[in-house]
Amino acid sequence: MIKLQEHIDKKKFDGAGLYYNEPMSRHTSFKIGGPADLLFVPKTIKHIEDMIKRCIEVGIPYYIMGNGSNLLVSDLGYRGVIIQICKTMSGYKIEGNRVYAQGGILLSSLSKHIYRAGLRGFEFASGIPGTLGGAVYMNAGAYGGEIKDVIVEAETLTRKGAYKTLTKEALDLGYRHSSLQIHEDIVLSATLVLEEGDKKVIKALMQDFGQRRKDKQPIELPSAGSTFKRPEGYYAGKLIMDAGLSGYHVGDARVSLKHCGFVVNEGQATCKEVLELIDHIQLEVKSKFDVDLEPEVRIIGEF
């Protein structure tokens, strides 16, 4: 384990949370993951900048996470610093039809604020269990809507600690893709433009999406959402079901009986079990349908 206490000046991060040897199973929706050498919860953007600069100076690996809803962490944990921005970086401001929000705000919270302001176009995100920063990073979407439909620009911090403003065009948003994934920039905030709407209609649509998610997805069990990206011309869940893998499991990691596109944790699943299950699914689907399934879940840590 890296002796981070020797390199991190606690006084420089007054008000921030520094949690050494922190089990990541406490911070991911999968409820899986060994200890991070340091889980850092910044209070300000300056904290993020200073921690990144310090990590670069000392040669310490670091990873930026939001709500941990699309993350699978190794059973051995993460050697370095995990910077979690969803706890405090969650401010927002609405002016007319423009919404300014920090990257750590939960999509569920932001959608409620937008609804109360009588703005439509963000209903699709109301049930996505993640942060705005994560949603921009992967161009999150649901029920026919995507972040690319509403975003104007994003304020980012590069891995070298420089601030940048990226336009919608520069973000290069596609299916579960953005230029941020190439450069690994961090979303500090984003500007959205929406349209005025009828609050009753907006609320009804959000409730409809919420009920559909409840009916069709295994939200009652820990998971990281959709395990695989949608292959062109197919649906991952149907391919997995047609391959006869509904309910297939490795230990407590199981293909959901409710929706085959989800791998769920039925109790004490480990990262090793999830990865073995993912490998088996990929091999079976490739063998039966000659389709390559690409994981949507992000996998980090020591292996």
Active centre residues (catalytic): 176, 226, 296
The identity of residue 180, as a single letter, is L
What is the C-alpha to C-alpha distance for residues 53 and 69, in angstroms, rounded to an integer? 26
Sequential DSSP letters for 34-48: -EEEEEEE-SSHHHH
- Residue 90: closest CA among 129, 132, 118: 132
By the 8 A CB rule, do 164 and 158 touch?
A: yes
- Enumerate residues 6+ apart whose C-beta is below 8 A from 81: 4, 36, 37, 38, 39, 40, 51, 55, 60, 61, 62, 63
- Residue 102: closest CA among 38, 157, 170: 157
By the 8 A CB rule, do 256 and 277 touch?
A: no
Tokens of 302: 């020591």
Neighbours of 292 (CB within 10 A): 10
The alpha carbon dihedral of 53, 55, 57, 61 has a sign of negative
- Residue 192: closest CA among 88, 80, 249, 107: 107
Q: How many residues does the chain have?
A: 303
Burial of 120: CB neighbours in 10 Å, binned 0-12, 13-18, 19+: middle
